Structure 1
Amino acid sequence: MISSVFLLRSLVFLLILMLLLLGGCASTEVLKPTGESYMQRHNDERTKLTHWQMNGKIRVKTADSSDSANLLWQQNGQQYRIILSGPFGQSGATIQGDPYQVQLLLPEKGAYQASTPEQLLHDYFGWNLPLSHLFYWVRTLPAPLLPYQSNLNEQQQLAQLIQDGWEIRYDRYHEALKPMLPGRMKISKGDLQLTLVINQWQLEPDFAQLSSFR
């Protein structure tokens, strides 16, 4: 026969467990708006970053599918090269361009050209991703000439940008870098979500001048 003391202890344990679970579900990160002076300093530091290389992973999720790939992004001023490798990059898809033209290079299918990276991504992958904005967002900068909202986390780090209908969340930083740059970020709009996990940043890398496509 189960004793009343055992039942009482069990009920107390269950009650504590429920309170802990409810507290965990209710706890969310509190964000607060950035001030104008904060964003001025923040933007001044990161606008100077025009030559860099990042390595990591990318995942694109839509209402109908979820695809991921390894990512290598080289940025040399206004010229860029983005290499995607398996699975949706397969044996290696390369997006490279400058402000005037962009190419998609596929090892077994040849080259595709477009005037903007957004048009290229839409025509080939069916994604409506603002790659031109992403050049700024990966550096935690708002894209120029567009209004935006920005919010800080409790560590006084930029945690969120809202711009052009997109929400950009910065979940983790490489804090040893000066200035700090993202280690994990999510970009979402409607049913479309892009996640970047950046394992390594190289600032001012020593790579050959990227080819021009003008």
Structure 2
Amino acid sequence: MASIVRMIAPKRVLATLPILLLAACATTRPPVRNAGDAVTLGLQEQRERALGDTDHWTLEGRLSVASDKDSGSGSLTWRQEGDHYDFTVRGPVTGRTFRLSGGPDGAELEGLEGGTRRGPDAETLMAETVGWQIPMAELKRWVLGLRADRGPADIAFGADRLPSRLVQDGWTVDYRQWDATKQPAMPSRVFAEKPPYKVRLSIDTWSLGR
């Protein structure tokens, strides 16, 4: 499958998934990683305190996903409003739109042939519809460059003292670029992998707040 527009049947919607690529004002991620000294870890803790309550934001960019059987890509708009989220993915050729939205009361996946699918939550809906296990609660934190609240996490830093790699819940999240013009700096290129799944996210714009 060459692009998201070919994902019609429920089992071929992989490219619509949100998990986890290039900002104009981004810093290139250095190849060297380190566990971080006291100062670096302190800066990360400050970052997590500053952004920990940030749950109203919008990002726009591009998304590509792949497994050992499928792949696809499209433009992405992700709006987060507290516990409610709205992922809209558009195919690069036809503009066909897929939309995953929901919150504590359940989730919906629109744009499929045969109509909208619903589930008790995004994780269950994705697993039943496309066979993916998507850690939605963690992803909401990871995309901000933060450790998720659930379970232990290993974090490594680049020479700029920004997170370079985060390993948590079986996923490896690589932060390939950061937009250093933002205060605090925000991720602009994020690769997430949990074999056989790979997700690449290029964030063009961040809008924080309501």
Distance change (3 Å), C-alpha of 1:177 and 1:169: same
> When the two structures are superposed, what TM-score results if normalisation uses the length of structure 2?
0.78
Q: Any stretches of 5+ residues in structure 2 without a counterpart?
A: 1-29
Amino acid at match of 1:73: W
* C-alpha distance in structure 2 between counterparts of 1:113 and 1:81, whole Å: 14
Contact 2:187 2:203 in 1 (8 A): yes
**What count of residue pairs does the alignment treat as equivalent?**
178
- Residue aligned with 2:188, SS: strand
Match of 1:32 in 2: 34
What is the CA deviation profile of residues 111-132 of structure 1, one whole-angstrom value per residue up to 9, with x for unaligned ones?
2111121121222223222222
The answer on whether the counterparts of 2:76 and 2:87 sit within 8 Å (CA) in structure 1 is: yes
1:68 and 1:88 map into 2 onto residues whose CA distance is 10
Question: Does the 8 Å CA contact 1:173/1:181 hold for their aligned counterparts?
Answer: yes
Task: State how far apart, in whole Å, the 2-side matches of 1:154 and 1:194 are.
Answer: 24
Residue 156 of structure 1 aligns with an amino acid whose one-letter code is R
In structure 2, what residue type is equivalent to 1:49?
T
Cα distance change on mapping 1:128 and 1:90 into 2, 3 Å: farther
Highest Rg: 1 or 2?
1
- Matched AA of 1:59: S
Counterpart of 2:73, as a letter, is S
Aligned-partner Cα distance in 1 for 2:117–2:93: 17
Q: What is the aligned partner in structure 1 of residue 141 from structure 2?
A: 136
Gaps in structure 1 of 5+ consecutive residues:
1-27, 206-214
What are the within-5 Å matches in structure 2 for residues 78-97 of structure 1? 78-86=83-91, 91-97=96-102
Note if contact 1:69-1:89 (Cα within 8 Å) is conserved in structure 2: no
Q: Which has more helix, going by share of residues?
A: 1
Residues 88 and 40 (structure 1 numbering): CA distance in 2 closer, same or farther, change over 3 Å? Answer: farther
In the TM superposition, structure 1's runs of 4+ consecutive aligned residues that sit over 3 Å from their partners are 87-90
Matched, 1:193 2:198: yes
CA pair 76-86 structure 1, distance change in 2 beyond 3 A: same
User: In the aligned structure 2, how far is the partner of 1:159 from the partner of 1:112?
Assistant: 36
CA distance in 1, matches of 2:149, 2:93: 30
Q: Deviations over 1:146-200 (max 9, x none)?
A: 1001111011111111001110000011111111111100000122110000111
Q: What is residue 182 of structure 1 aligned with on the other side?
A: 187
| RMSD over equivalenced CA pairs, Å | 2.1
1:46 to 47, 51, 55: 51
Shift of 1:107: 6.8
Q: Which residue type is aligned with residue 44 of structure 2?
A: M
Q: Pick from 79, 88, 91 the counterpart of residue 74 of structure 1.
A: 79
Q: Which structure has the higher relative contact order (CA within 8 Å, separation 6+)? A: 2
User: Could you tell me how far apart the structure 1 residues matched to 2:162 and 2:45 are?
Assistant: 14
Distance, in Å, in 1 between the alignment partners of 2:178 and 2:152 is 24
2:108 maps to what in 1? Answer: 103
User: So what's the TM-score if we normalise by structure 1?
Assistant: 0.76
Q: In 1, distance between residues paired with 2:119 and 2:94?
A: 19
Conserved 8 A contact 1:153-1:159? yes
Inter-CA distance 166–88: structure 2 relative to 1 (3 Å threshold): farther
Identical pairs, percent: 25
1:4 alignment partner in structure 2: none
| Aligned equivalent of 2:60 | 55
What is the CA-CA distance between 1:79 and the residue it aligns to? Answer: 1.1
